Amino acid sequence: MNEMRIGIIGLGNMGTGHAQYLAKGQVKNGVLTAVCDDRQERLEWARKELGEQVKTFANVEEFLGSGAIDGVIVATPHYSHPELAIKAFAYGLHVLIEKPAGVYTKQVREMNEAAAASGKVFGIMYNQRSNPLYRKLRDLIISGELGEVRRTNWIVTNWYRSQSYYNSGGWRATWAGEGGGVLINQDPHQLDLWGWTTGLKPKRMRAFCQFGKNRDIEVENDVTAYVEYENGATGVFVTSTTDAPGTNRFEVSGDRGKIVIEDGKLTFWRLRVPESEFNATFTGGFGQPECWKCEVPIQSGNGEQQHAAITQDWVNAVVKGTPLLAPGEEGINGLMLSNAMLLSTWTDNWVDFPIDEELFYAKLQEQIRQSKTTKVAGEYQTLNVQGTH
Would you state the torsion angle of the CA atoms of residues 89, 92, 96, 101, taken in this order, to the nearest 10 degrees? 0
How far, in Å, CA of 170 to CA of 374, rounded?
A: 8
Report angle CA 232, 233, 235 to the nearest 5 degrees: 140
7: alpha, beta or left? (left if phi > 0; alpha if psi -120 to 50): beta
Residue 382 binding its own copies, by CB under 8 A: no
Residue 362 per-residue DSSP state: H
* Smallest separation (angstroms) from its own copies to the CB of 215: 8
Looking at beta carbons only, is 244 or 376 nearer to its own copies?
A: 244
Encoded one letter per residue, x for contact with its own copies by CB under 8 A and - for no contact, window 222-251 reads: x-x-x-x---x-x-x-x-x-xxxxxx---x
Report angle CA 89, 91, 92 to the nearest 5 degrees: 65
Under rule CB under 8 A, how many of the chain's residues touch its own copies?
55
How far, in Å, CA of 220 to CA of 180, rounded?
A: 6
Looking at beta carbons only, is 66 or 210 nearer to its own copies?
A: 210
Residue 258 binding its own copies, by CB under 8 A: yes
SS3 letters for 95-145?
EEECCCCCCCHHHHHHHHHHHHHHCCCEEECCHHHHCHHHHHHHHHHHCCC
146-159 b/e (C-beta count within 10 Å ≥ 16 → b): bbbbbebebbbbbb
Contacts of its own copies in 275-304 (CB under 8 A): 275-276, 278-280, 282-289, 291
Does the CA dihedral 60-63-66-72 come out positive or negative?
Answer: negative
Residue 346 binding its own copies, by CB under 8 A: no
Contact 187, 338 (CB under 8 A): yes
Encoded one letter per residue, x for contact with its own copies by CB under 8 A and - for no contact, window 197-216 reads: ---------x-x-x--xxx-
How far, in Å, CA of 36 to CA of 54, rounded?
A: 10
In the set 124, 140, 271, 317, which binds its own copies (CB under 8 A)? 271
Stretch that binds its own copies, among 190-198, 271-279, 310-318, 375-383 (CB under 8 A): 271-279
How far, in Å, CA of 119 to CA of 130, rounded?
A: 25
* Smallest separation (angstroms) from its own copies to the CB of 191: 18
Looking at beta carbons only, is 20 or 224 nearer to its own copies?
A: 224
Stretch that binds its own copies, among 6-14, 85-93, 184-192, 270-278 (CB under 8 A): 270-278
* Smallest separation (angstroms) from its own copies to the CB of 343: 16
Report angle CA 316, 84, 127 to the nearest 5 degrees: 40
Contacts of its own copies in 167-196 (CB under 8 A): 168
Contacts of its own copies in 139-168 (CB under 8 A): 150-151, 153, 155, 157, 160, 162-165, 168
Looking at beta carbons only, is 95 or 223 nearer to its own copies?
A: 223
Interface contacts to its own copies, rule CB under 8 A: 150-151, 153, 155, 157, 160, 162-165, 168, 206, 208, 210, 213-215, 222, 224, 226, 228, 232, 234, 236, 238, 240, 242-247, 251, 253, 257-258, 260, 269, 271, 275-276, 278-280, 282-289, 291, 385, 387
